[in-house]
Amino acid sequence: MPKLIDGINDPKELRALPQASLPRVAQEIRELIIDKVSATGGHLAGPLGAVDLVVALHYVFQTPEDQLVWDVGYQAYAHKILTGRRDRFGTLRQWKGISGFPHREESPYDLFTIGHGGTSISTALGLVRARDHQGKRNKVVAVIGDGSLPEGMALEGLNHAGHLKSDLLVILNDNKMAIAPAIGALTHYFTRIITDPLYNRFRREVESVMCRVPRFGFRILRAGKRLEESLKNLLVPGIIFEELGFRYFGPVDGHNLDEMISTLNHLKGLPGPKFLHVRTVKGKGYPPAEQNQWKYHGVTPFDPATGEFLKKPQAEGFTQRFGQAMIGLGRKDPRVVAITAAMPDGTGLVEFSKALPGQFYDVAMCEQHAVAFAAGLARGGMRPVVAIYSTFLQRGYDQVIHDVCIQNLPVVFAMDRAGLVGDDGITHHGLFDLAYLGALPRMTLAAPKDLDELEAMLAFALRHNGPIGLRYPRGGVLRFHPEWAMDLPKEAAPIELGKAEILSQGSDLALVALGSMVYPALEAAKLLEGEGISTTVVNARWAKPMDMALFAGLVKEHRALLVVEEGVVKGGFGASLLAAVEEHRSNGFAVKVMGIPDAFFEHGKREILLAQAGLTPSAMAASAKELLSRSPVYAR
């Protein structure tokens, strides 16, 4: 039997189908998601749970004229399939394939390129006001998940939207957070009543008549509104949204397409701010994902028939070592507390939360609060560690300045996913932390070259009396030539504040590498050795403060200096280093910084992206030779 989705290349073709066929469309979309994500990896449970909601939205609203704004966006896989990207869905999150999140350059149906939570209500409200200023009549819908709703930005957007009273529909896709237990026949009956057009027309007419009744009209009207609000308080968990200026509707079953379509059709005709609470099941339609929703939230390739993951267990990486080290440090010192913003698994803190639950805080998707909360803990005598992706710490930047650095508090920022993160792409790369944190007085920044150094740096950080950040990449130590054995010192130099580590001694070129670039730099040195070029390789360790005595000596003792970092060149570690050693340079001494150029990078395997950025051993060796060609040989 031909599949219905094979004939849907545009939502208009979906809307041409009879409503009775939509459950089949939803089932076919789920099958496609399972089939393709099992091969490519990606988010799974969330997108499966949102399929029916996506189908209903595109069936009711005249997209793209009516505008859908997604929050975070991984729940929008079905949206991609219905908006002309079905045939490319197998390229999901692959190099030069489609993004795992909405991307404005992919489709006119994607209003924004997104990957962070809490943004949809604010951006949708901006679209609403732009529409109103231009006298247009299209509808705007913001979809937000229960994990994003506590975000400060989301609540700010709700507050402003309720104040403006513009026509906006906010949909809460609630697949986890129990806002209240108010579900059942009576709730559904009441929701159907208050969304029905006849009821709302009658309500407006009664209000108009009551307002004309002398003396008692307004009193009667207020009493009627209080009655409706009282019923809502008893039956539905919507009072907070009502107080913010929204009319609240729900909860409704997000997998009952007939109910969803009926509700959306009714709400489409209501003016003003509206909030629809939709209950969905994460992983809907795929038993392994329904039964273990967190495990199948984000997946590597798996067997769709059994749900078993195909990839062998990966070797220990930075995230896992961080988590294990935290358990040991937390047991030794009860002042050590770990904080995550809704990412206990991604930051390696799941086992810590089980081993030391009294020293663990998950503050939900609220990065600003996480940082300020850590400041309060530190001021009270604790030793907080904020475990956070580099890209998400950007969201708490003001708190890093105002609440941590100005106060000079001992807060440790464990910045996972620093550098190019791979398949999650443009919104998730952690490329800016060295630049945005390096500018802050009192901030200390370190980057370990390997897992052992991370563990030693973490122990040091918890003894440090001031703000300190540790940045480390996704996965483990990256080796472009795993078969090459590196001649490293038998014992690593102890961790000392601002002291770098010399890994090999040469005479022609000084190659200073930070963190994740140290092992690729060693490989580059081996390539250069084969061409007769003697290279000193330095593990910088510290981006701030830097080992200025060592670096000044390198400038005096070599013909050229090459600095390599997995961060933006503008304002990064290398720029600071070159500025600091400028006075020590002699005529003809060549210098260069290799890092991430002034551009945003899309998704793809990390090795591919590093090659695109020119951060490979062969590219380093080529840059080194070009530098030396510009630097005359001189007597030492």
Are β-strands 560-568 and 509-513 bridged in parallel, bridged antiparallel, or unpaired?
Answer: parallel
Question: What is the helix (H) or strand (E) element at residue 143, kind and residue range?
Answer: strand 140-145
> Is residue 544 among the annotated active site residues?
no
Cβ(61)–Cβ(43) below 8 Å: no
C-alpha of 184 from chain center: 35
Cβ(524)–Cβ(628) below 8 Å: no
C-alpha of 126 from chain center: 22
Non-local CB neighbours of 204 within 8 Å, separated by 6+ positions: none
CB atoms closer than 10 angstroms to residue 75:
28
**Distance from C-alpha of 412 to C-alpha of 462, rounded to nearest angstrom:** 7
Active-site position among 80, 232, 282, 417: 282
Active-site position among 80, 279, 367, 449: 367
Cβ(224)–Cβ(21) below 8 Å: no
> Is residue 156 among the annotated active site residues?
no
Q: In sequence order, which ranges of 356-496 are alpha helices (DSSP H)?
A: 367-379, 390-393, 397-399, 433-438, 451-461
Beta strands in 342-500 (DSSP E): 360-362, 383-389, 412-416, 444-446, 468-471
Please, is 605 exposed, middle or buried when counting C-beta atoms within 10 Å of its C-beta (0-12, 13-18, 19+)? Answer: middle
Amino acid at 226: R
Backbone angles phi, psi at 206, to 5 degrees: -65, -45
3-state secondary structure 502-514: EEECCCCEEEEEC
Cβ(432)–Cβ(392) below 8 Å: no
**Distance from C-alpha of 57 to C-alpha of 401, rounded to nearest angstrom:** 42
CB atoms closer than 10 angstroms to residue 205:
10
> Is residue 395 among the annotated active site residues?
yes
CB atoms closer than 10 angstroms to residue 599:
10
Q: How many residues does the chain have?
A: 636
In a 3-state reduction of DSSP, which class is residue 415? strand
Active-site position among 131, 395, 541, 544: 395
| Residue of 518, 478, 520 whose CA lies nearest to 501 | 518
C-alpha of 481 from chain center: 30
Non-local CB neighbours of 220 within 8 Å, separated by 6+ positions: 210, 213
Cβ(438)–Cβ(415) below 8 Å: no
**Distance from C-alpha of 476 to C-alpha of 515, rounded to nearest angstrom:** 11
Active site residues per annotation: 282, 367, 395
